[in-house]
Amino acid sequence: MASENVPLVDLRAQYLALKPEIMAAFEEVLEGMQLFIGPRQKAFEQEFATYCGCQYSVGNASGTNALELALRACDIGPGDEVITVSNTFIATVEAIALVGAIPVFVDIDPETYLMDWRQLESVLTPRTRAIVPVHLYGHPVEMQPVMDFARAHGLRVIEDASQAHGATYQGQRVGSFGDVGCFSLYFSKNLGAFGEAGICTTNNADLAEKMRMYRDHGSRVRYLHEVIGSNARMDELQAAVLLIKMPHLERWNAARQAHAQTYTEQLRDVVDAVPVVRDWGSHVYCYYVIQIPQRDQFRAALQEEGIGTNIHYPTPLHLQPACAQYGYKAGMLPVTEALASQIVSLPMYPELTEKQLQHVINTVKKYASSLASNR
Ligand SMILES: *Cc1c(COP(=O)(O)O)cnc(C)c1O
């Protein structure tokens, strides 16, 4: 059998499908030369806000920027503590640190791998100002108890929805629960530009106004700088790509869900864990993450068969050199730490073919049975 190459993600497929439309839009943007805060960004902001069930959205230059703008707009700053998780991409913590605040980690639910809200109480201090739940891998955090806790203690909630465009909790889209929802639109996310971009969603007009000001050098009127802001504007060429891709997001998410269902049906009894989907939520599978014994061997075996894998993420943030200043030690977040040595992400993108899926599944099965026979 000719072996099928299956990359972890295939970004060319979407480009090729939309190439004529994208090229035409690029030409129009370049002819008009309105390269920032242009009509396409405004149209995209409108569509994305509506999609998320929010009144406002503020396009910007990256998911990291989105988080930083949101925290700043919520007046989170030096000395403030922000509760989040260690099982996430570094940007979640970078944004907290960039505004001068201190990340405080809680452990995760061993089944969903997401923030365990039951632990919020144990890290609450008089300096706690906000919670950043992360809808990691595409599954929503259980938002109701998080929101209840935040309201009871006067805390802001900033959702990191960078891996969960379109995911729902109790039928409502993520990014619409907290004070602000933050999305990366980095090229490999569920909705991605051809480079860097991000967006914030909110129902709070005042926060939206502040985030618009912060993204553009602290000004609403050109050369009048009301506060010290930043340069975090969305590039109009990226907005053009996003506006073209936006109508396809639902279909792409549905394709991811169909692939995930195939993986789960066929691998449930073969690997140590397949992704869990809570009955109160929908999963959009930015990543399809399993647990498997002897992970490094597993990855090498798949590599041999032309199958790409990755680990999201190999070292929890609280054990990263960059976070040493916060004083965490190995053993302090046992669920997060144990998980990090067992997880692997399998190839996942909307354009995966049936043949590619079967090749991955067969290879995983072959590996699992070789493990069993070696015991
Ligand atoms: C990708 C990502 C970010 C950062 O987004 P960038 O656009 O790369 O800055 C933040 N949080 C999570 C969970 C992410 O996956």
Tell whether 76 and 88 lie within a shared domain.
Answer: yes
Q: Are 350 and 255 in contact (CB under 8 A)?
A: yes
**Distance from Cα 3 to the centre of ligand 1, integer Å:** 33
Query: Would you place residue 1 in the very low, low, confident or very high pLDDT band (cuts 50, 70, 90)?
Result: very low
Residue the block writes with tokens 């397949």: 274
Residues flanking ligand 1, CB < 6 Å: 62-64, 88-89, 91-92, 134, 160, 162-163, 184, 186, 196, 198
* Ranges 62-66, 160-164, 368-372: which has the least confidence: 368-372
pLDDT digits (tens, 9 = 90+) for 235-260: 999 999 999 999 999 999 999 999 99
Q: pLDDT exceeding 90 applies to what percent of the chain?
A: 95
Give the 3-state secondary structure of 155-192: CEEEEECCCCCCCEECCEECCCCCCEEEEECCCCCCCC
Domain boundary among the residues 193, 220, 247 is at 247
In a domain, 4, yes or no: no
Q: Could you give the residue numbers annotated as active site?
A: 189
- Best residue among 65, 115, 184, 191 to mutate for probing ligand 1, ranked by most atoms within 8 Å of CB: 184
pLDDT digits (tens, 9 = 90+) for 110-165: 999 999 999 999 999 999 999 999 999 999 999 999 999 999 999 999 999 999 99
Tell whether 214 and 262 lie within a shared domain.
Answer: no
* Element at 23 (helix H, strand E): helix 12-32
Q: pLDDT exceeding 70 applies to what percent of the chain?
A: 99
Indicate which CATH number applies to the domain containing 138.
Answer: 3.40.640.10
Tell whether 254 and 239 lie within a shared domain.
Answer: no
Q: Are 287 and 138 in contact (CB under 8 A)?
A: yes
Q: Which atom of ligand 1 is the closest one to the Cα of 62?
A: 7
Centre a 10 Å sphere on the Cβ of residue 136 and count the other Cβ atoms it contains: 28
Mean pLDDT of the residues in the chain: 96
What domain count does the chain have?
2
In a domain, 1, yes or no: no
| pTM for this model (two decimals) | 0.97
Domain that holds residue 40: 11-106+113-247
Token pair, residue 259, equals 């692939």
Domain boundary among the residues 247, 277, 295 is at 247
Give the burial string for 8-44 (b: 16+ CB within 10 Å, else e): ebbeeebeeeeeeebeebeeebeeeeeeebbebbeeb
**Distance from Cα 62 to the centre of ligand 1, integer Å:** 8
pLDDT, residue 274, reads: 98
Indicate which CATH number applies to the domain containing 334.
Answer: 3.90.1150.10
Tell whether 228 and 355 lie within a shared domain.
Answer: no
